[in-house]
Amino acid sequence: MNLIILLLPIIAIVLMFRSQKKRQSQMQQMQTALEPGAGVRTIGGLYAQVKAVNDETVELEIAPGVVTHFTKSAVAAVLEPQEYDAIINGRPEDDELSEPEAEDVAEAAPAEDKPLSLTKDSAEKGDAEGGAPASK
CA distance 110 to 116: 11
What pLDDT does 130 receive? 53
Maximum pairwise Cα distance, the chain: 88
- Name the residue among 73, 64, 87 with its Cα closest to residue 30: 73
Strand partners, 118: none
pLDDT, tens only, 42-92 = 999 999 999 999 988 999 999 999 999 999 889 988 888 888 888 888 865
Give yes or no for a contact between 60 and 84, defined as CB atoms under 8 angstroms apart: no
pLDDT band at residue 122 using 50, 70 and 90 as cut-offs: low
- Name the residue among 60, 78, 80 with its Cα closest to residue 70: 60
CA distance 9 to 5: 7
Q: How many CA atoms lie within 13 A of 44 on its CB side?
A: 6
pLDDT, tens only, 11-31 = 999 989 998 898 888 888 887
